[in-house]
Amino acid sequence: MLISFFRIIKFSLQDIFRNFWLSLVTITILILALFSINIILIVKVIGQEAINVVKERIDVNLYLNAETDEKLIFELKDKISQFTQVKEVIYISKKEALKQFQNKHQDNPEILKALKELGKNPLTPSLIIKPKNAEVGTELTNELNKLQDEIIISKNFTNHKIMLEKINTITQKINNIAVIISIIFILTTLLVIFNSIRISIYTHKREINIMRLVGASHSFVYMPFILSGVLYTFFGMILLTMFFFPFLNFLNPYLESFFVSDGLNLAKHFKDNFLNIFGVEFLAVSTINILASFLAVRKYAKI
């Protein structure tokens, strides 16, 4: 039994290396198929990060009376900082607000001219309130609505709730469409893999016939091909990781500059979820290969 087991492994490896080009093509197809599935995962991760970034940008602004004493402003700032939903409160003074305004419109001389002609700073101090996350946004706006203070002249968060709801709705719809597209893509990829293995075994049709003619048992006919399918997956996964992580490292700097943060690191994401992603891919593709090998050999072993 043990002898037969090692023989099956030997035949399988012999077959892979003696049919080098066929094996190479099969493994290449597997790598391309898995790579394309991983691209979908990358798009999903980037998409999710983009949505999170947008959600985090939903700040609440409190505009304050221009003549307010800074002491009162800091008191209000401390009070709001105590809210459990608040991540951070940033105070923008009149001067800073003017500076930001001038920087924003530096390419617009008419606006800068109009500001100069005013003779004074028309802008007011404000508090920018960052929620801990998008989910507590509504709670935070409710708390801020209850807040009554004379120094507050305007609260800019009435549209916050609506915007969040819109973002959530759009996000949900995008996710649903992405799931459907992903399923179609994954099914197509699995069919490509299935067919590649069947074609590979078709080229062994004569060999399977001969194995049956000399009296090989069922297991001796099936097992080398089934094992080859698993080995193709194994070699494919190893080669894929060798190309994939450098590809992610190449992509990272562009993503960091786009998101203006170091929060998104694709290589780290895939490393942290290595078993979940690559482990599941290995199991899924191995299963498909085993099934394809079994069905193809069964077809040609009936002589």
Partner 1 sequence: MIKFINASKQYPGSSNLVLDRLNLHIRPGEFVSIVGQSGTGKTTLVKSLIGESNLDGGKILVGGWDITNITQKEIPYLRRQIGVIFQDFKLLLKKTLLENISFALQVCGQAPKKIKMIAPHVMKIVGLENKQDRYPHEVSGGEQQRAAIARALVHRPKILLADEPTGNLDAINANEIIELLLRINKFGTTVVLVTHNKEIVNRLQKRVITVDSGRIISDQEKGRYVI
Residue with smaller CB distance to partner 1, 1 or 162 = 1
C-beta of residue 288 within 8 angstroms of C-beta of residue 226: no
> To the nearest whole angstrom, how small is the minimum distance from the Cβ of residue 189 to partner 1?
30
Task: Take residue 180 and report the two structure tokens written for it.
Answer: 């459907």
Q: State whether the Cα torsion 142-145-151-152 is positive or negative.
A: positive
C-beta of residue 282 within 8 angstroms of C-beta of residue 234: yes
Residue with smaller CB distance to partner 1, 14 or 100 = 14
> To the nearest whole angstrom, how small is the minimum distance from the Cβ of residue 175 to partner 1?
49
- Number of neighbouring beta carbons within 10 Å of residue 47: 14
Residue with smaller CB distance to partner 1, 109 or 215 = 215
Residue with smaller CB distance to partner 1, 154 or 203 = 203
> To the nearest whole angstrom, how small is the minimum distance from the Cβ of residue 18 to partner 1?
4
Residue with smaller CB distance to partner 1, 13 or 151 = 13
> To the nearest whole angstrom, how small is the minimum distance from the Cβ of residue 289 to partner 1?
20
For residues 85 and 291, give the distance between their C-alpha atoms in angstroms, rounded to a whole number: 52
Residue with smaller CB distance to partner 1, 213 or 275 = 213
> To the nearest whole angstrom, how small is the minimum distance from the Cβ of residue 10 to partner 1?
9
**Contact residues for partner 1 (CB under 8 A)?**
1, 3-4, 7, 14-15, 18-19, 206-207, 209-218, 220, 303
How does DSSP classify residue 140? H
Question: In Å, how far from its chain's centre is CA 47?
Answer: 6
> To the nearest whole angstrom, how small is the minimum distance from the Cβ of residue 196 to partner 1?
20
Q: Report the number of secondary-structure helices (H) and strands (E) in the chain.
A: 12, 4
Q: State whether the Cα torsion 262-264-269-272 is positive or negative.
A: positive
Residue with smaller CB distance to partner 1, 4 or 133 = 4
> To the nearest whole angstrom, how small is the minimum distance from the Cβ of residue 21 to partner 1?
12
Q: What angle do CA 21, 187, 181 make, to 5 degrees?
A: 125
Task: Take residue 67 and report the two structure tokens written for it.
Answer: 């003549």
Side chain identity at residue 188, one-letter code: T
For residues 71 and 124, give the distance between their C-alpha atoms in angstroms, rounded to a whole number: 15
Residue ranges in 70-157 assigned as alpha helix (H): 70-81, 94-104, 109-118, 137-146
For residues 28 and 214, give the distance between their C-alpha atoms in angstroms, rounded to a whole number: 33
